[in-house]
Amino acid sequence: MKPIEIDRTLGDFTTSPRVLFVAAIAVFIASASVAAGVALLALIRLCTNISYFGEWSFTPHTIGQTPLGWGSILIPMAGALIIGFMARYGSEKIRGHGIPEALEAILLGRSRLSPKVAVLKPISSAISIGTGGPFGAEGPIIMTGGALGSLVAQMLPVSDNERKTLLVAGAAAGMTTVFGTPIAAVMLAVELLLFEWAPRSFIPVAVAAAVAAVERTYLHMPSTLFPFSADVQISITGLLIWLTAGAIAGLLSGCLTKLVYTTEDLFSKLPIHWMWWPMIGGLFVGIGGIIDPRALSVGYDNIDHLLKGDLSTMSALSLMLVKMTIWGIALGSGTSGGVLAPLLIIGGATGMVLSAVMPTASAGFWPFLVMAATMSGTMRVPLTATFFAVELTGAMNCFLPVMAACVTAYCVAILTTRRSILTERLARRGHHIVCEYHVSPFAVTRVADVMTQSVQIVPGSMTLREAAALLVDPSTTHPTFPVVDRQMRVLGVIDPPAIIRWRRQGHSRTVTLAQLLDGTKPTIAHPDEHLSVVVERMNSANVAHLSVVDKQDGRLVGYVSWKDMIRSQASAHVEHRTAFFGLGKSA
């Protein structure tokens, strides 16, 4: 049996040693993102103390202890008014929760973010959250870290893809700084930001997250933000109940997304400039703060209480309803702030309410499960949510139930709502995002699978006059033909531009094609080559057709065109969309 010839230039991955250069830059970006994250958290505390307590201090205070009473309603309105002015006269990109803006920069802006965004986003978020806005700091710091990565990359000789990688590296380092969850930060990058799964991007992002995790320990930030443990019993009954909790979280996710964008639609109908919308949203935030002060600001202490099971059913219900209402209204008004912490609190409070009807479990188990699943369904990141919950709490023994709940919530969410809370904003700006990653059909399909085997050829002995007559003959169905010698070896290709070029060069009409093509090296393909290689070759040669020749004897065995490749890709796309439901077959 004849041994198979192996192309030693091919490998499992296309990553080059340049990834080490990008990873080295990611180390610097991670350090900058850690500094920005720490500064943002300190700035939030400062804004809170100035707004609610009249103190220039970075010491943490609870907003519910403010002496302002009913006057505290005005604080969120004032903060939102400042943000409205900053957005209108500074940069409109500071509006929203950060991640959609990062996605937009990656997909549409060649991963370029301006210095203005890098400065204004954390400041506006600190003002928003510090004046009671019911948001988290993670979205703004992801945007800020991404902006730092983008700015550094713009000063260096890197490609667009490398700039994207460095932007995402900064974002991952920022998330790690806030929560101390490097694995979840890397998974967020893979599931949401990179739009690929490749070593060239994965390695620098992982390096940035790891560096941020190490550096935050030197700043004495806790490695496990919300320590939690539970006694988990593995059983079929338990699995069904975990799936039920995940399904409820998935439905909640759809409701939260609908709430935010319904509110945004209502604001868009107001006969006033969008600059004033955040102030109106701030009024509702202030009123919500009077009803339940725990719903204001980031509320990380709420997560701690929920995981400890300290809240009663009615107390958790109040927190859930108030937080959900003011968060949806404020975010829909276009102010600045993140979504992750609110999702955890709303989901955790829902889990605490469900504890009243769910089977008895360890204190905080149901809040823990539902908060992770709510994050998974709303952001469409099941792996990120699973690792995030485990890293955030250190509850490794809960890995199975949280994974079951997160995947279920993800399934319910994608089947009941077409877009996530992150991609809906981009869709409203006219940008459709496909969040499913596949190996390109070109990378796994060989030329032999798509080429035309019955090839109409012309002999090298044909004259220039005869070739011109062939191409203009009404019975000719296509414009290009491979030219072969008597042994069926390819000499080249003729098409109308070639005929015209030869005539303009003054060649005699009686000269043969073999003579015209003598000394030229035809661009060819081989049957066992992958389409991804052939596409690059066609692009470099600026041709739409290639002769396919046998590697051993050089004889013509087929012909491949760009139409054959597009047809192959379309067939794979149709098969992917329909095969699961049995509605179609591949071509």
- Check: CB of residue 333 under 8 Å from CB of residue 263: yes
DSSP structure string for 272-334: S-GGGHHHHHHHHHHHHHHH-GGGSS--HHHHHHHHHT-S-HHHHHHHHHHHHHHHHHHHHTT
165: nearest Cα among 344, 20, 47, 308: 20
* Number of neighbours of residue 253 by Cβ within 10 angstroms: 30
Give 409-467 pLDDT, tens digit per residue. Answer: 999 999 999 888 888 877 777 777 776 777 777 777 888 888 888 888 889 899 999 98
- Describe the chain by its helix, strand, coil percentages, rounded to 5: 65, 5, 30
Whether the per-residue pLDDT at 16 is higher than 60: the answer is yes
- According to DSSP, residue 489 is labeled B
**Could you report the per-residue pLDDT of 115-167, keeping only the tens digit for each?**
787 788 888 888 988 999 888 877 788 878 888 888 888 888 888 889 989 99
Q: How confident is the model at residue 585 (pLDDT cuts 50, 70, 90)?
A: very low
In order of start, what are the domains of the chain with their CATH numbers?
Answer: 18-218 (1.10.3080.10), 236-427 (1.10.3080.10), 441-570 (3.10.580.10)
Asked whether residue 568 carries a pLDDT value surpassing 80, the answer given is: no
pLDDT bucket at 63, cuts 50 / 70 / 90: confident
Q: Is the pLDDT of residue 107 over 60?
A: yes
What's the token pair of residue 227? 């320590």
More confident residue, 406 or 93: 406
Give the integer Cα–Cα distance in Å for 441 and 575: 11
Global pTM reads 0.83
**What is the per-residue pLDDT across 218-240, written as a single tens digit (0 to 9) for each?**
998 888 889 998 888 889 999 99
Q: Give yes or no for residue 56 having a pLDDT over 80.
A: yes
pLDDT confidence of residue 98: 66
> Residue 32: pLDDT band by 50, 70, 90 thresholds?
very high
Indicate if the pLDDT at residue 389 is higher than 90.
Answer: yes
Distances, alpha carbon 348 to alpha carbons 239, 254, 378, in Å = 19, 16, 14
d(CA 462, CA 455): 17
Q: Which of 3-12, 338-347, 362-371, 387-396 has the lowest mean pLDDT?
A: 3-12
Q: How far apart are CA 24 and CA 535, in angstroms?
A: 32
- What percent of the chain stands above pLDDT 90? 42
| 516 close to 491: Cβ distance less than 8 angstroms | no
Order of strands across the sheet that contains 458-459: 458-459, 481-484, 490-494
As given in the structure block, the two tokens for residue 536 are 């690059």
